[in-house]
Amino acid sequence: MMSRTALAFAALQALGIASGCAKPIEGTTIEDSPQNREVIAFVESYRRAVEDRDVGALLRLTSEDYFDDNGTPSGDDDLDFRRLQERLVAWSERVQDVRYDIKFRNVAYVDGRIIVEVTYGGRFLTAAPDGEERWARRIANHRLVLVREADGELRIVAGL
């Protein structure tokens, strides 16, 4: 017959296993694993490139197979790699300063793609038509879709 202490210990162990006690990556709720650390580091590179307004870096992080339908049925706002490049150049010319924060919500591996769900907070300094500089702020949930390309590198295929 099990003692009460042994029974309580066994119950706590079972609870820990059932609740998925895996340690998260520091500063996130994402399970710590080599694959997830690589994804977090990659998205952090993306975040820094946004803050630096570095179009070249953003494009190096993006797959030439990039395509985003922006969640709409019409094709008017669809972005492929070429159109994304044009938009990023225009964006970097219009925006003079950026502060961009990312909070990771989930990383999922689905059919060869990596779905990274984040909440971002962006503050963008732009020149208004009257010549005044103004800060604009955006906070939203967002999803980046990544793939591992033939060269072994992660790249963004949707979600910029």
CATH number at residue 137: 3.10.450.50
- Residue identified by tokens 């008017």 is 76
**In terms of residue numbers, what domain contains 152?**
25-158
- Residue identified by tokens 């219009």 is 94
Provide the residue-wise pLDDT of the chain in tens; the chain has 160 residues. 445 544 444 444 544 444 456 799 888 889 999 999 999 999 999 999 999 999 999 999 999 999 987 666 666 778 999 999 999 999 999 999 999 999 999 999 999 999 999 999 999 999 877 888 999 999 999 999 999 999 999 999 999 8
Any domain includes 92: yes
Query: Is the whole model's pTM more than 0.95, yes or no?
Result: no
User: How many domains in the chain?
Assistant: 1
* β-pair type (79-80, 67-68): antiparallel
**Residue 62 DSSP code:** B
Exposure string over 51-73, b if 16+ CB within 10 A, otherwise e? eebebeebbebbbeebebeeeee
